[in-house]
Amino acid sequence: MSHNVVNLPNTIQSQSLWYVAPKQAEIRYQSLAPLPSQFVQVRALFGALSRGTESLIYQGLVPESEFTRMALPWMEGSFPFPVKYGYSVVGIVEDGPSDWIGKRVFALQAHQTVYQADIQSVVLLPDEVSAERAVLAANMETALNAVWDAAPGPGDRITVIGGGVIGCLVAYLCGHLPGAEVTLVDINPERESIAKRLGIAFSLPEAAPTNCDTVFHCSASVSGLATAMTVAGNEATVLELSWYGDSPIAAPLGGAFHSRQIRLQSSQVGHISTSHRPRWSHRRRLQTAIKLLTDSALDVLLDPAVNFVDLPERLPDLLSARSGTLCCLICYP
């Protein structure tokens, strides 16, 4: 379903994805205003769905308490519906200052064919990072912030529970720590080949390593959190990266949780880790995340592209809990 508008002379038409009701989305059209000074106009090439966050938005499960915190600067509409959301678009600058024309950029923007943004809110892509792989920038930024939060060190035994995009990127970053023993744990044995490609070990939950120094939980499941608490060593940190929306979660805080003095800590990309906050801006962190995407091995996280105009019909499958999709790549016309 789409909403059409009358074309006005000398206006640019854009299409965007809107979540309009529980499990309903549509493509809407809009005319862009004249481009302000020090803004760029970008035509999208590729984007990505955030399966965790956007599945909750799609189902209308964003808690009312989080309406304000979830409202992004570039978002339109309001929670729960209708809302234009998303935060991963790679495109090419087609209007703006002359030295920006033709440059490839990444931006935290909604799913939209053409958008306008302040120059300070877009980041140039290095030549070594493909446009397709660059859609992982927002996820890499989340993973980088999580590693800062947990602060694992060289030689540590590190386990990541949940082999989605965030879990894989966290494991990938930790895998570059000298001497670290890094294991990705997932209930899906097909994730083993992905872990191998990223240079890290893999395990099913029942065979996960124990007495770990740091555990990252990314599975968004009660059973995954229980595994994380079980494999953590004495006085170890379990960093919780899952977001459950308005679903109540029974945290396994019985048994030996207190006697082993396990530290359960949350991590959220909206805040720069306290270890880096005095020196780092959000822009610097995003630029660094993009620089970390030069490795072509990360292409293993990208699923075949879905055409933007097909998203309303494809979302039920792409955002289903049964979907094996990792990073759902969006291809724009």
Per-run averaged pLDDT (10 residues), the chain, 333 residues: 50 96 97 96 97 92 91 93 97 97 98 97 98 98 98 98 97 98 97 98 98 97 96 97 84 88 95 97 98 98 98 96 90 96
Level-2 CATH architecture, domain 139-266: 3-Layer(aba) Sandwich (3.40)
Q: Return d(Cα 2, Cα 69) in angstroms, integer.
A: 28
Given this model, what pLDDT does residue 3 score? Answer: 53
Q: Strands 302-307 and 83-84: what pairing?
A: unpaired
Tokens 């862009």: give the residue: 32
pLDDT at site 255: 86
What span, in angstroms and rounded, lies between the C-alpha atoms of 216 and 239?
5
- 214's tokens: 């740091």
The pair of structure tokens assigned to 18 is 């809107």
Domain spans, the chain: 2-125+295-331, 139-266
For residue 9, the model assigns a pLDDT of 53
Taking the model in full, what pTM does it have?
Answer: 0.94
Q: How far is it, in rounded angstroms, from Cα 152 to Cα 229?
A: 17
Architecture of domain 2-125+295-331: Alpha-Beta Complex (3.90)
* Helix ranges restricted to H, the chain: 51-59, 67-70, 137-150, 165-174, 191-197, 222-231, 282-291, 311-318
> Residue 292 has what DSSP assignment?
T
Q: In the prediction, which pLDDT does 8 show?
A: 47
